[in-house]
Amino acid sequence: MTDKLRLGVNIDHVATVRNARGGDNPDPVRAALMAQEAGADGITAHLREDRRHIRDADMAGLKAALRVPLNFEMAATPEMQRIALDTRPHAVCLVPEKREERTTEGGLEVARQAGVLGEFIAPLRAAGARVSLFIAADRDQVEAAHRIGAPVVELHAGAYADAWAEGRWDDRDRELKRLTEAAAYGHGLGLEIHVGHGLTYDSVGPIAALREVRELNIGHFIIGEAIFRGLPDAIAEMRRCMDAARVGGA
C-alpha cells in the first residue's frame, strides 16, 4: 500500500462568503489556485441543488483552471449527472442532500438504493470519472458501495468531529472505532478509502494515522483558519498535522 495521504481542499465556503454579498468576491477559483500552489493534492467543490455556495460557473471555472484533480460533489439527480458529464471532472462524489440541512448530515443510503445508484454511476464511470460515495462508516453501506461497482468511498467524519469539538470523548472514541473498522473493511474489499467532513488540526491526526485511508477532504475549518493566517499557511499546517500523524501512527 502506498503511504501517500492526499489532501483535498474544499473551497465551498469561499463561495459562501461571496454569496453573502452577491458579486464576484472572494472568488473560489482564485482560492483553489492558491490552494493548489500551497500543496493541495486536489480541490473539492459541492454544487448543491440549491446553489447556496458553489454555482455552475464555478465548476466550469475550476475545471478549466486547475491542474490538480477536481472532485465534484453532488446529489444523485439527473440535473447533476448532466452537469458532471459536461464538466468531466477527475472525480465525482455522490452526497445526500436535504434543503433544510445546515450541512451534510448523513451518508448516502446505498444499501437500500443499490439498483438505482448502480445505474446512476454507470455513465459517470463510462465517462472516466472516479466515482466515490459519501457514506456513513457502516459495514452494510460499505458492502453495498462495493457491490454496485463504486471504486471509492468517502466515510463521513462528522459525528467524530462533532464529538471531538464538544469534548464528548467516549463518543469520539466510539466514532473513531467505527471509522477505523469501516476503513479496514472497505480496504479489504478493494475500495479506495477517503474520509471527510468537519476535520480540524486537532481531530485530523487519528484519521490520518489510519493506513487504509488514501485521501482526506477538508474545507470549512481550513477556510476559517485562512482568515487568521492566510490560506497557504492554513493548508501547510493541515498538511503538517497529517504528516506527523502518518509518521507516528500505527
Ligand X SMILES: NCC(=O)COP(=O)(O)O
Of the candidates 218, 226, 234, 241, which one interacts with ligand X according to CB under 6 A? 218
Is 89 a binding residue for ligand X by CB under 6 A? The answer is no
220 is in an annotated binding site: yes
Distance, CA of 210 to CA of 110 (rounded, Å): 24
219 is in an annotated binding site: yes
202 is in an annotated binding site: no
Distance, CA of 178 to CA of 161 (rounded, Å): 13
103 CB-side CA count, 13 A:
13
20: amino acid identity, one letter: A
Residue with Cβ nearer ligand DXP (10 or 36)? 10
Is 194 a binding residue for ligand DXP by CB under 6 A? The answer is no
- Positive or negative torsion for Cα 168, 173, 176, 178: negative
- What, of ligand X, ligand DXP, none, does residue 89 touch, CB below 5 to 8 Å by kind? none
Distance, CA of 14 to CA of 11 (rounded, Å): 6
Q: Which of 146, 156, 187, 197 is catalytic?
A: 197
Distance, CA of 175 to CA of 195 (rounded, Å): 13
Helix %, strand %, coil % of the chain (to 5)? 50, 15, 35
Verify whether residue 166 is a known catalytic residue.
Answer: no
Is 46 a binding residue for ligand DXP by CB under 6 A? The answer is yes
Is 196 a binding residue for ligand DXP by CB under 6 A? The answer is yes
Verify whether residue 46 is a known catalytic residue.
Answer: yes
Cα dihedral 59→64→70→73 (10° resolution): 10
Is 217 a binding residue for ligand X by CB under 6 A? The answer is yes
230 is in an annotated binding site: no
Distance, CA of 173 to CA of 233 (rounded, Å): 29
Residue with Cβ nearer ligand DXP (213 or 247)? 213
Distance, CA of 134 to CA of 27 (rounded, Å): 26
112 CB-side CA count, 13 A:
3
Residue with Cβ nearer ligand X (180 or 217)? 217
CB of 46 to ligand DXP, least distance (A): 4
Contacts with ligand X by CB under 6 A lie at: 10, 44, 154, 196-199, 217-221
Contacts with ligand DXP by CB under 6 A lie at: 10, 12, 46, 48, 73, 95, 103-104, 134, 196-197, 219
The catalytic residue positions are 46, 73, 197
- Extract the annotated binding site for 1-deoxy-D-xylulose 5-phosphate: 12-13, 48, 53, 103
